[in-house]
Structure 1
Amino acid sequence: MKQLTVIGFSLLALTAGCTVIPGSGLPTKNKTVVYHENDSADSTLDSRVNLYPITLSLVESMRQPPRFAQNNNALNAQKAGYRYRVGSGDVLNIAVWAHADLNTPAPTSSINPQSRQVSNGIWVDEAGYLFYPLAGKMLVRGKTLPEVQNMLTGRLKRYIKNPQVSVNVTEFRSQRVTVSGAVGQAGQLPITNIPVTLLDAIDLAGGVAENADTRHIKWTHNGVDSTISLQDILQYGDLSQNHLLSHGDIVYVPTTENSKVYVMGEVGRQSALRMGNHGLTLTQALGDTGGMSQAMADASGVFVIRNAPADHEKPIHVYQLNLKDATAYALGNQFRLQPEDVVYITAAPVTRWNRVISQLTNSISNVNALDDTFQ
């Protein structure tokens, strides 16, 4: 009788939620439960979810359009019309033919922080002015080299007959673009008289690292962020995504560390998988985690949970794949996952029942052992 009483209390504790286990519950008594002012009985999680069966028509609707090699005529026109404009900090070399006394370069007071050497030439000051003998003080910031040359020629005509003036930049210091992230050598690159594109900047920075996410490169231009796929440029020749860079632009190459898919539930091993630069399909994710558990998984309960912030009414999208028919693996192989997706495989009903019975059996066995000890 004593044994049955102990078993009865054990079953009662188990079926009551096993709150005797440390940390298995969180009583709200004497605790302040805070709700958002917009929370209501209608704003449940279920009302914010869309459920989509993974079918052939769904896969076709989500398929990305084929990518082809594309020219970038707009970029070619920009490069053809590109002219470097002088800025504050640039060092200019000015030569006047047949007047060697004017051509002697004078050391500037500006020091190159990289070479730590004094530069020879004429430095454009912070206000955008330079001083040249006979020509005096001139505002050159924002002007092209031919425009600076014409200004000098016009002023030197007062003292020299038919002056022949040559102007070029010996050090480009005024304008920079920043390349950061998973590249060979992150840092700043100077804007020079040769136009620099996004692809050029990455090459000049040593190329991308092995762990670079080449599909989601961020380009910041005039405070506006754009996502560029270097993978499409290199693999498909989609030059429409290549752009001309200008002063202040930022090119950030992320790593694949943050591009992960989480596989949970009844699989060989629950894992966080990196997407890689070639993407990941649902079937690949299942294969990389050891596949579905043949004994415990519910073949009809393969779910992909995805956050869709653009859908303000129902921002949680759940996709369900029914694998009772083995041919459905073909659909899974065409369903492409996105970063932060959660793949969850549910347990079969019989598995859940067996687990409950197993817990009950273990509890009864432990009680029997305890009862035998005290007999």
Structure 2
Amino acid sequence: MYKTDLGTTVNVIPLNQNTIPLGIQSNINNLAQYRVLFDTQQHIYRMSPGDILSIQLWNYPEIAPPSTTISSDQTAQAYGYPVDQEGYIQLPLIGQYKAEGKTLSQINKDVKHLFSRYLKNPDVLVRVVSYQGKRYSVQGNVTKGGQYYLSDQPVSLYAALGMAGGVTATGDSTSISLVRNGQTYNLNTVALEKAGFSLNQLLIQPNDTVYVNTKADNKIYLMGEAGKNQALPMRDQGMSLADVIGEGLGLDPGSANSSKVYVVRTDPKQRSTAIYHLNLSNIGDFGLATQFAMQRNDIVYIDATGLTRWQRVVNQIIPFSSTLYTLQQLGKD
């Protein structure tokens, strides 16, 4: 391990059967953070500021008229008893009632008991007219990005994307970021599904942010002595190092040094870079290239042979020498 002149910490790792990194799917199986996401269950909904309730007294409609929802072409507005920022609703006869943090069944029980102090055998029904207390956000490459509200029905990650109109043509449905409680989880949806984690079981929680990344950010870069240098879009099912070399038309037979194939992988969080060195001079080791799973923004670099480097240096020197010789001859003339 060493540091570059620009301060980047670099770790050079010779690739063999013992050092080859696990693929994304294997890593997911061993990461507890993903299991925590999928083990989170939907709890019984508890009221929050912003929710709007309906209180109906069947025998006393004049005291608590039925609440309604009025819809127009643009919006739907609910009328009822809103839970204020301090968690209270204002009830007729009763006055303030603390609804925040309570379930709907608990509120029904409490309100019936409170009305029984003033009314004979009150038949009370409390419903939620509009859930507006617990929000989540869907952003990025979706049709209708914005804020959405949770209700008493669970919302999976796939359902949240559906409510936002689905992923756009520029979006990468295999690369989704979930921000929860200040921590970002980068979800490779294909690898998760293959590992047995159904995204229909990943339930959205209050204040979650779902961000769909763009396909333009999901590339692998092939440089050096390949048949074709290019930026390759990552396939939905993932790619191996052999796939990348194949897409680049293989190693250049005239200039490539097959013993010096490198994969440069950067970890922005740790501000470090790992350089994996693969020697492909032995055809028996080509299987390692098929086992090495690529990650987005990896750089594959194929070094040149010593002779190729020398020829390039000579080609740079010879034109300069020829020009210098011509000038000297002109000076003599």
Normalization by structure 2: what TM-score?
A: 0.81
Task: After TM superposition, list the pairs within 5 Å mapping 1:191-230 onto structure 2.
Answer: 191-230=150-189
Structure 2 CA distance for aligned equivalents of residues 184 and 236 of structure 1:
28
Gapped regions of structure 1 (runs ≥ 5):
1-41
Residue pairs, 1:154-303, within 5 angstroms: 154-235=113-194, 237-239=196-198, 242-303=201-262
With 236-245 and 253-262 compared, the bigger mean Cα shift is at 236-245
| Alpha-carbon distance between aligned partners in 2 of 1:309 and 1:119, rounded to the nearest angstrom | 46
Q: Which amino acid aligns with 1:217?
A: I
Aligned twin of 1:96 = 57
1:92 and 1:115, CA in 2 relative to 1: closer, same or farther beyond 3 A? farther
How far did residue 123 of structure 1 move?
Answer: 2.3
Q: Which of 33, 49, 57 does residue 18 from structure 2 map onto? A: 57
Give the distance between the partners of 1:175 and 1:153, measured in 2 at CA: 26
In 1: Cα distance, 2:249 partner to 2:82 partner: 65
CA 354–222 in structure 1, closer or farther in 2 if over 3 Å, else same = closer
AA matched with 1:324:
S
SS of equivalent to 1:58: coil
| SS of corresponding position for 1:102 | coil
Judge conservation of contact 1:67–1:238 (CA < 8 Å) in 2.
no
Aligned residue for 2:41?
Answer: 78
**Residues 112-152 of structure 1, C-alpha deviation per residue, up to 9 Å, x if partnerless?**
99945653322223322222222332121221111221122
Q: What does residue 280 of structure 2 align with?
A: 323
SS at structure 1 position matched to 2:316: helix
The CA distance in 2 between the partners of 1:117 and 1:52, in whole Å, is 59
- RMSD (CA atoms): 3.7
Q: Could you tell me whether the CA contact under 8 Å between 2:156 and 2:202 is conserved in 1?
A: yes
1:255/1:44 CA distance change after superposition, 3 Å: closer
Q: CA deviation at 1:168?
A: 0.9
Amino acid in structure 1 at the alignment position of 2:22: M
Counterpart for residue 336 of structure 1: 293
* 1:333 alignment partner AA: T
The aligned residue for residue 6 of structure 1 is none
In 1, Cα distance between equivalents of 2:50 and 2:9: 56
Task: State the AA in 2 paired with 1:350.
Answer: L
Report if the CA contact (8 A) 1:219-1:226 is conserved: yes
Q: Aligned partners of 1:50, 1:193: CA distance in 2, in Å?
A: 50
Q: Quote the residue 2:80 is aligned against.
A: 121
Which one-letter code corresponds to 2:318 in the other structure?
T
Look up the equivalent residue of 2:225 and give its one-letter code.
Answer: E
> What letter is aligned with 1:97?
W
Deviation at 1:153, TM superposition (A): 0.6
**TM-score of the superposed pair, with normalisation by structure 1:** 0.73
| Cα offset, 1:367, TM superposition | 4.8
For 2:302 and 2:184, the matched residues in 1 are separated by: 36
Question: Cα 1:267–1:78, aligned 2, differ >3 Å: closer, same or farther?
Answer: closer
Give distance in 2, aligned partners of 1:308 and 1:120.
51
Q: Which residue of 2 aligns with 1:360?
A: 317
If each structure's strand is expressed as a fraction of its own residues, which one has the higher value? 2
Q: Gapped runs of 5+ residues in structure 2?
A: 30-34
Shift of 1:92: 1.4
Distance (whole Å) between structure 1 residues aligned to residue 200 and residue 159 of structure 2:
13
How many residues are paired up? 324
Q: Percent identity?
A: 31
How has the CA–CA distance of structure 1 residues 336 and 104 changed in structure 2, closer, same or farther, with 3 Å as cutoff? same
What amino acid sits opposite 2:300 in the alignment?
A: V
Give the aligned residue type for 1:62: L
Shift of 1:103: 4.2
Amino acid at match of 1:128: G
The answer as to whether partners of 1:256 and 1:276 remain within 8 angstroms in 2 is: no
What's the CA shift string for 1:40-71, capped at 9, x where partnerless? xx975499544333223333x63553989xxx
Q: Which amino acid aligns with 1:284?
A: D
Q: CA–CA distance in 1 between the matches of 2:214 and 2:76?
A: 37
Instruction: Tell me which residue corresponds to 2:32.
Output: none
**In structure 2, do the counterparts of structure 1 residues 279 and 73 end up closer, same or farther at CA, with 3 Å as the change threshold?**
closer
Larger Rg: 1
- Please state if 1:153 is matched with 2:112: yes
What's the CA shift for 1:320?
2.0
